[in-house]
Chains A and B, each alone.
Chain A
Amino acid sequence: MWTLPLFILAALVSAVLVLLVGRWDAKKAAPTAFLLSLVLAAFNLKILCNFDFATPEVVQYAFSVPWIPQFGITFTLGIDSISLWLILLTSLLTPLSILGSFKYIKTREPEFYAWLLILYGAMLTCFCARDVVLFYLAFEFTLVPMFFLIGIWGGTDRRKAAVRFFLYTFFGSVFLLAAVVYTGYLYYASKGVWSFELETLYAFGATLPTNTQILIFLGLLCGFAVKIPLFPVHTWLPLAHTEAPTAGSVLLAGILLKLGTYGLIRISLPMFPDATLALAPWLAITCIVGIIYGALISWVQTDMKKLIAYSSVSHLGFCVLGMLALTQEGMVGSIMYMINHGLSTGALFLVVGMIYERYHTRSMDEVSGLARRTPVLASFAVLFVLSSVALPGLNGFVSEFLVLIGTFSSGQTLGTTHAAFHGNLGPYYAVVAATGVILGAVYLLYWTGRVVFGPLKEPAHDVTAPHEPVKDLSFREWCVLAPLAIGVIVLGVYPQPMLDSLRQPVSNIQNSIVAHEAPVNVVLPLPYPTH
């Protein structure tokens, strides 16, 4: 029962340990942080092994203590399979980003790694929380470590990036707080006690009138939309990603953006089904605009990190689109998209970080032809680009395909011989979104063609100083990229265990939503199994 709180506490204690070791010898802070994060990752693997996959929708490792009884806030933790995969992603990306920062961070190392570990603990709490106010607390608290990570160790424009990131996200989150408190008050008004537990509010939210639901959903959306980010509140993202240090970018793109999508699927969708059904088409249009807009803007970028940052806007548009399709394929694909995006975009940021460490520039005008100089790094880059582009055989394809199929079939009835699909999107949405797939291939392969292939061009170096030719991947960098490469390939070839574990929780969420759909004609079952 105490597993999850101890896990989170261990992350925070690790941060303190790193600070103490740093006092003694600042250079030892980085290896200490890496070892501690490996220990935490091993702990997470043990949680994975003991997870009961026969009942993935049941909340396991549950832990609950009353915290503030006057408000009905409890410290409740628990994971089902959705949370499990996300915390596994967190535990994978954190050691890798720590390892990737060894050469990058040269000042105030102990504090850097301590903030990383505190961020790790906050992200874990957010994914494990089963109490809405606890979720909000962790969601909001991640702003503090990220602010310092970007602001102190970032690029040239780091102050502006950190302040804009904090204020933009904070502004969205306060509406999230208002919506959460309002929901709690409505529960109190009808039942006479305060409670913020997820299960309680799930049952209650569905009983609210549609207009109230829509109001609260929009309030929650303010916070989530800024975080995801959805068009048009995405403008904080490029600056934050470009100026953040590599580890910061990896965790920001890999995990923090998923806090928004996780919030949608954990809180908004199941708790306010009528609002979901009413707003899904409009939100889907916003997502599609984001997909295409993000892709078009990426196409014209010359800064590598900005290109990948805008590509995140585009990809997460797909993720949310799949969620809003409300079909089995769409929602399972959406959750898998979160994991896949974390792996591939995290890896791309690490690759760009390695290029930056070698050439001290992120400009595509100054660096090209890396395949000639650093073939191994180039191979990894191409692998992760293909995963991002959704090449069949790699992980990106599985989630992208599921999302598109889910959106296409959403709300459709095939003649009179097949039961209707849930949701209210449809083929038009999928067709327009699919153009985003083509555009995604365009800008990423364009990047690959210029930076990885093509004639070798390196930035000019100071001829009076001693200069060695740029080296290929070191052993440390191999260790950083290899797990991600393995993950990308394995999930592309054998995604079934993950998909199977996600089916039942998604079904539960679906059932709570579709119970509110307008009734459709249920027709004869087909001779092959349907969803």
Chain B
Amino acid sequence: METNLYTLLPEIVLLLAALAAMLLGMLKNDRLRASAQILALLGLLAAFGLATGFLPGIPAGLVSPLGQFVSVLTAAAGFMAILVAWDMPSTDNPSETDKHYRAEFYSMLLFSLAGVSMMGKVNDLIWMFMALELVSIPTYILVATGRGSIQAQESAIKYFFLGALAAAIFLFGFSYLYGFAGDTRLASIGTTLMTAINAHEVPPLATIGIALAIIGIAYKIAAVPMHFYAADVYQGAATPVTAFLAFAPKAAGFVALIQILGLTQWEFPGLGGQSLIAMLTVLAVLTMTVGNTLALMQRNIKRILAYSSIAHTGYMLVGLVVGPTLIGGDASRDGIAATLFYLVSYAVVNLGVFACLIYLQGKPDSAEEVEDLSGISKAHPWTALGMTICLLSLIGMPLTFGFWGKLYLIQSAFSAGHSWLAIIMVINAAIAAAYYLRIIAAMYLRDPWLPIVPRKSIPVGIAAVTCSVGVILLGVFPQFILQWTRVLTLK
């Protein structure tokens, strides 16, 4: 598997598309530069086809189920993300498209997506580090150049410095793992670790290495204690960039965590007693609680969505604490499948919310605060409806996709004996309803006072409609996605 380059075909296609888009960005003709968007879409379609098997190219049976899942999810979500970022607005005036189409914007998106897609297939520590950085570094550029305002520059600096710090932390952890196992390949580290666990002689080197790796990757997923950047960066970046940030690094981070924790086969008792599982549990509880309580105090929509993103990371961490079923492959106790299912639902819903928000941001600094959304259900009923559907899914209202995600996580938590974690998660879901409801209440229950100038963009509309309809359809028929995430138990 390691030597067959064809397994990386979707990622290669994405990288080639990214390079082509960057080259297009150097041309003088504006029309040609605009075609970078279409190139990006085509590249993602090709990657999707290759990953799912519609297009031949990947030898069968060589890609792990996790790798295929991540590639398909990335291609699909990336497609929606490009639609959401279509006709990237000018840095000065968001209501106008940038006449000098910045094609390198789309090439950065594609680079980052290639990194996410690669995360499912990494089998080496160095490759994992490289993939994680491939996800992050383009996002630093996206945050810095997406908007002309000083806020974007400030958030880019914060994001970059803290990201570099986090990268240093998890690289340090990786170095300890290498020191412990003598090899960078994940398979051999896993074997060495399992031998040590079974012999009850795990050196602190390994435990610290894994702990540092987890903390470093926690930055990507915006988990406590590495969550401080989220609110400012989400608020300062351009909204299409925020939409991308809210799911791409998160997906990459979670897949990385699954692979790191997979080295231990979730046999935590051997590793420094219960310390690792205690650390993860505390991380999950703190992340959920901090995310939800701080979101209650926010007035800016993107900050609310940032803290809500932190809270959803907390829910997904519960699935990581539970771990997969290793016996018999029964899906119901599979915390990893629950996390991945929640990731899918979060990607769909997140893109839906941001697509609706982008539609409303036709003027600079419009639709920033919750008050700006007052009463838009009268002037823009369909946008309000789409946003409400996605927000109800984030609350976890039945008949939406998000409800099944929460149900799966609660079920897996109870099944593994983590009853208290399930109760805390449930309480947090109830607290979260308060701030989502505030947005819905503003849209429907208040009188309009500020006319919103919409950004008429058909691709954004397509993305919003697809995501909202998807939330309801998958809310009534989630079986297919459940079946898809089910096959991802570790070997």
Q: Which residues of A contact B (CB under 8 A)?
A: 67-71, 133, 136-138, 140-141, 143-144, 147-148, 151-152, 158-159, 162-163, 166-167, 170-171, 174-175, 177-178, 181-182, 184-185, 188-189, 194
Contacts and interface: CB of A to CB of B under 8 A. Distances in A.
Given A140-B397, A184-B411, A194 B426 contact: no
A138 B482 CA distance: 22
B480 to A, nearest CB: 11
B165 interface: no
Interface size class for chain B? 35 or more
A151 B441 contact: yes
Most buried by A among B399, B407, B444: B407
B263 interface: no
A181 B437 contact: no
Contacts of A152: 444-445
A143 B398 CA distance: 10
B445 to A, nearest CB: 4
B332 A163 contact: no
Contact of A175 (B397, B407, B415, B426): B426
Contacts of A67: 479
10 contacts: A67-B479, A141-B397, A141-B399, A152-B445, A159-B445, A167-B430, A170-B430, A178-B426, A182-B419, A185-B411
B427 interface: yes
A70 B487 CA distance: 12
Contacts of A167: 430, 433-434, 437
B83 interface: no
Nearest to A154: B445
A403 B478 CA distance: 44
B398 A136 contact: yes
A137 B430 contact: no
Given A68-B482, A162-B441, A182 B430 contact: no
A71 B406 CA distance: 13
Given A166-B433, A174-B430, A181 B482 contact: no
Contact of A178 (B395, B408, B422): B422
Interface in B154-211: none
B392 A144 contact: yes
B445 A69 contact: no
Contact of B423 (A70, A138, A178): A178
B426 A159 contact: no
A148 B422 CA distance: 30
Question: Which 9 pairs from chain A and chain B are nearest by CB?
Answer: A137-B398, A151-B445, A171-B430, A185-B414, A174-B426, A174-B430, A178-B426, A159-B445, A140-B398
Contacts of A148: 444
Given A68-B479, A152-B444, 4 more contacts: A141-B397, A171-B430, A177-B426, A181-B410
B29 interface: no
B299 to A, nearest CB: 16
B411 A151 contact: no
A152 B378 CA distance: 11
Contact of B482 (A70, A136, A170, A184): A70
A232 to B, nearest CB: 18
Nearest to A194: B332
Contacts of A70: 331-332, 479, 482-483, 486
A140 B486 CA distance: 27
A267 B478 CA distance: 26
Contacts of A137: 398-399, 403
Contacts of B479: 67-70
A69 B478 CA distance: 11
A151 B438 CA distance: 12
B429 interface: yes
Nearest to A68: B479
B303 to A, nearest CB: 20
B363 interface: no
Contacts of B332: 70-71, 188, 194
B99 to A, nearest CB: 39
Interface string B444-458: 111000000000000
A275 B128 CA distance: 53
B411 A71 contact: yes
Given A70-B479, A182-B419, A151 B414 contact: no
Contacts of B446: 159
B411 A163 contact: no
Nearest to B416: A185
